Chains A and B, each alone.
Chain A
Amino acid sequence: MKWIAAVLFAAMLVLLPSVAGDFYVNLASQILIAAIFALSLNLLVGFGGMTSLGHASFLGVAAYISALLTSRYGFAHGPAAIVSIAGTTAMAAVFGVIALRASGLGFLMITLALSQVLWGLAYRMSNVTNGDNGIAGLTRPMPFGISLDSAASFYWFALAVASVSFLMMTTFVSSAFGSSLKGVRDQPRRMAALGFNPWMIRWITFIYAGFWGGVSGLLYVYYNKYIHPTSLSTTSSAEALLGVIAGGSGTLSGPAVGAALVLLLKNYASAYVERWNMLLGLVFLFIVLVMPTGIVPGLSKLLNLRRGSR
């Protein structure tokens, strides 16, 4: 049963552009990007117990590096992508060292402060980042000479990257290292007594999450062909965190579902009202107060109950 459902779901994803119009295909691309981003954040929040409010740093910095290198310094997309991901990952390594001096709320505050500093920098270093105007007129890469300018071709590109990232993050979580990470989340002292190095485990996870955050940032800037400081803002980090928590932190598919819901809500709501931030705030309150464990665990509990009663 599960296999059939998975194959059907995969087929549906691949064939989407042949049944849906460009508007929906583009929406689906955005969802895939948000899902990669949320999954990478979930490695920290759900599996590592490290609640970060600065994950947008990685998305934004990867996007800015790629945008600057291709538009200003004449880099081709390939090398620009490599430098961008490498730079973002290196930044994650440094941020990790700083933020992991603390845990719990201290960690949250440091990640928030670090990302706010980057946001302020993107706004104020206007001779480099173009400040509030953002960097426009960017191009999409042409992997193997294939243009990604149509909605469908970009969607397939994003789907391929998202599949690889989902597979790799899922393997990561179920691996020996993933078990160590969950152990360190639950009983750090015990894990240390068993021979695990809790700090190193958290740090490597932070870097890995930063890496995938960077990948989602690259897709983000390819999709939008534009980058603005808001991509580095607390709102951007908070949207992803809301997706993770709404979907169910610490589950494999929850954050992807949550990210999709947040994105759909944002798209539909902004068609009717301008007040996205207020809505985002209200949804935060609603989710935390009403379904703190998230939608996916809630639904699977419900399904199990129904199965159990049969």
Chain B
Amino acid sequence: MQFWIIQGLNSLSLGGLLFLLASGFSLIFGLMRLANLTHGAFFMLGTYFGATAMRANSDLSIWTVAVSAGVAVAAIGGLFERLVLTRLKTNPLGQVLVTLGMSFIISDACLALWGGDSIPVPTPQNLQAPTRLFGFVFPTYRLVLVGCAITAAITLYLLLERTRLGAMIRAGVDDAQMARAVGIPVANLFTIVFCLGAGIAGAGGVLGGPILSAYPGLDADMLPLALIVVILGGIGSLLGAFIGSFIVGFIYTFGTALFPELAYIILFLPMILVLALRPQGLLGRLGA
């Protein structure tokens, strides 16, 4: 019983991390029609920033670190979007290719700066004590991660549905040309959303550090999971990304625990099923 509960919680916490990764990816895709292949690298960059900061000073609160790393990664993303992506407005394939190039640059830079060995990230001290609930023992940090993902989801939802910025983003997602015609500054919106997506990924990377640790190839491990999440959930749908993240979190965690060698293949199955039955994804709209 303890096995199932612990693995269940592990699934939820991985799902939460995936949501932090995939929600930004999905948002960027929905608005900019851009498959941002740098997204895994943004996440990894966050993890390395977090690992460095928290190992250097164990008194730092993980929240402070996550926010500052998020801002730093958002700034890098913003520069990239302004300096490179905007030059390729009419070349969607070129945009994808430069995001791929950028991901190579970031991951190789990480390798050069932090070396080839895995860097473990300590769990914050105040979250190390296990939580006892209904007679079971839970690792507190993983519970907190699930809470973070839910908070992020609600915040993003409110941002999109209840604010002026959100209304402009939704208009852009529906029809960028029309949005431009009615005077919405779509170019600025692109930069904001790209920064936002990169920032969430960076902060997610910090929060993922204590359970994943920082290592070369983390980006290549995370990106396909995010891709599968958005293929499952439907590209450009926030709720789809939320549901897809937890589905992938569960399948991957239980797959790894029960059939360690086949976990990757098991990930295929829901993706194939969804593509066969609903190619637009669980909650995607056709043509999106």
A and B touch in the complex (CB under 8 A): yes
Segment among B10-18, B104-112, B192-200 that sits at the interface with chain A: B104-112
Q: Mark A1-45, 1 if CB is under 8 A from B, else 0.
A: 000000000000000000000000000000000000000000000
Segment among B45-53, B138-146, B265-273 that sits at the interface with chain A: B265-273
Q: Is there contact, CB below 8 Å, between A106 and B104? A: no
Closest to B93 in A: A51
Flag whether A56 is at the interface (Cβ < 8 A).
no
Q: Is there contact, CB below 8 Å, between B261 and A116? A: no
Q: Give every chain B residue within 8 A of A76 (Cβ-Cβ).
A: none
Closest to A49 in B: B93
Flag whether A64 is at the interface (Cβ < 8 A).
no
Q: How far is the CA of A241 from the CA of B265 in the complex (A)?
A: 25
Q: Give every chain A residue within 8 A of B100 (Cβ-Cβ).
A: 53, 234, 238, 281, 284
Q: Give every chain A residue within 8 A of B230 (Cβ-Cβ).
A: 109
A interface, over-half SS? helix
Q: Give every chain A residue within 8 A of B37 (Cβ-Cβ).
A: 53, 112
Contact A233 to B220, CB < 8 A, known contacts A120-B264, A277-B104: yes
Q: Is there contact, CB below 8 Å, between A288 and B272? A: no
Nearest-neighbour CB distance to chain A for B237, whole angstroms, equals: 14
Of B108, B224, B261, which contacts A117 at CB under 8 A?
A: B224
Of A98, A113, A292, which contacts B227 at CB under 8 A?
A: A113
Closest to A119 in B: B220
Q: Is there contact, CB below 8 Å, between B87 and A289? A: yes
Nearest-neighbour CB distance to chain A for B261, whole angstroms, equals: 5
Closest to B284 in A: A106
Q: Give every chain B residue within 8 A of A114 (Cβ-Cβ).
A: 268
Q: Is there contact, CB below 8 Å, between B105 and A109? A: no
Flag whether B185 is at the interface (Cβ < 8 A).
no
Q: Give every chain A residue within 8 A of B275 (Cβ-Cβ).
A: 98, 101-102, 110
Nearest-neighbour CB distance to chain B for A224, whole angstroms, equals: 22
Nearest-neighbour CB distance to chain B for A14, whole angstroms, equals: 36
Q: Is there contact, CB below 8 Å, between A285 and B261? A: no
Flag whether B98 is at the interface (Cβ < 8 A).
yes
Q: How far is the CA of A241 from the CA of B105 in the complex (A)?
A: 17
Flag whether B176 is at the interface (Cβ < 8 A).
no
Q: Mark A76-119, 1 if CB is under 8 A from B, else 0.
A: 00000000000000000000001001101110111011101101
How many chain A residues touch B (CB < 8 A): the figure is: 41
Residues from 61 to 115 in B contacting A, C-beta threshold 8 Å? 84, 87-88, 91-94, 96-98, 100-105, 107-109, 111-112
Nearest-neighbour CB distance to chain A for B244, whole angstroms, equals: 13
Contact A101 to B276, CB < 8 A, known contacts A117-B267, A284-B100: yes
Closest to A125 in B: B261
Q: Give every chain A residue within 8 A of B224 (Cβ-Cβ).
A: 112-113, 116-117, 120
Flag whether B218 is at the interface (Cβ < 8 A).
no
Closest to B228 in A: A113
Q: Is there contact, CB below 8 Å, between B279 and A121? A: no
Nearest-neighbour CB distance to chain B for A294, whole angstroms, equals: 12
Nearest-neighbour CB distance to chain B for A219, whole angstroms, equals: 25
Contact A116 to B104, CB < 8 A, known contacts A106-B235, A121-B264, A284-B97: no
Flag whether B231 is at the interface (Cβ < 8 A).
yes
Closest to A53 in B: B100
Q: Give every chain B residue within 8 A of A121 (Cβ-Cβ).
A: 261, 264-265
Q: Give every chain B residue within 8 A of A112 (Cβ-Cβ).
A: 37, 223-224, 227
Contact A292 to B94, CB < 8 A, known contacts A98-B272, A106-B235: yes
Residues from 12 to 70 in B contacting A, C-beta threshold 8 Å? 29, 33-35, 37
Flag whether A245 is at the interface (Cβ < 8 A).
yes
Flag whether A167 is at the interface (Cβ < 8 A).
no
Nearest-neighbour CB distance to chain B for A44, whole angstroms, equals: 13
Of B84, B109, B261, B265, which contacts A289 at CB under 8 A?
A: B84
Nearest-neighbour CB distance to chain A for B94, whole angstroms, equals: 4
Q: Is there contact, CB below 8 Å, between A289 and B88? A: yes
Of A124, A233, A284, which contacts B101 at CB under 8 A?
A: A284
Nearest-neighbour CB distance to chain B for A189, whole angstroms, equals: 14
Nearest-neighbour CB distance to chain A for B106, whole angstroms, equals: 8
Q: How far is the CA of A289 from the CA of B261 in the complex (A)?
A: 41
Q: Is there contact, CB below 8 Å, between B35 and A117? A: no
Nearest-neighbour CB distance to chain B for A200, whole angstroms, equals: 17
Q: Is there contact, CB below 8 Å, between A278 and B231? A: no
Closest to B80 in A: A285
Excluding A278-B108, A284-B100, 13 further A-B contacts by CB distance (< 8 Å) are A51-B93, A98-B272, A109-B35, A109-B231, A112-B224, A112-B227, A113-B271, A117-B224, A121-B264, A238-B100, A238-B104, A277-B111, A289-B87
7 closest A-B pairs by CB: A284-B101, A281-B104, A116-B224, A281-B105, A278-B108, A277-B108, A281-B101
Listed by A's residue number, 17 A-B pairs whose Cβ atoms lie within 8 Å are: A105-B33, A105-B34, A106-B279, A109-B230, A112-B223, A113-B271, A117-B268, A119-B220, A120-B221, A125-B261, A278-B105, A281-B103, A281-B104, A281-B105, A282-B105, A283-B101, A285-B101
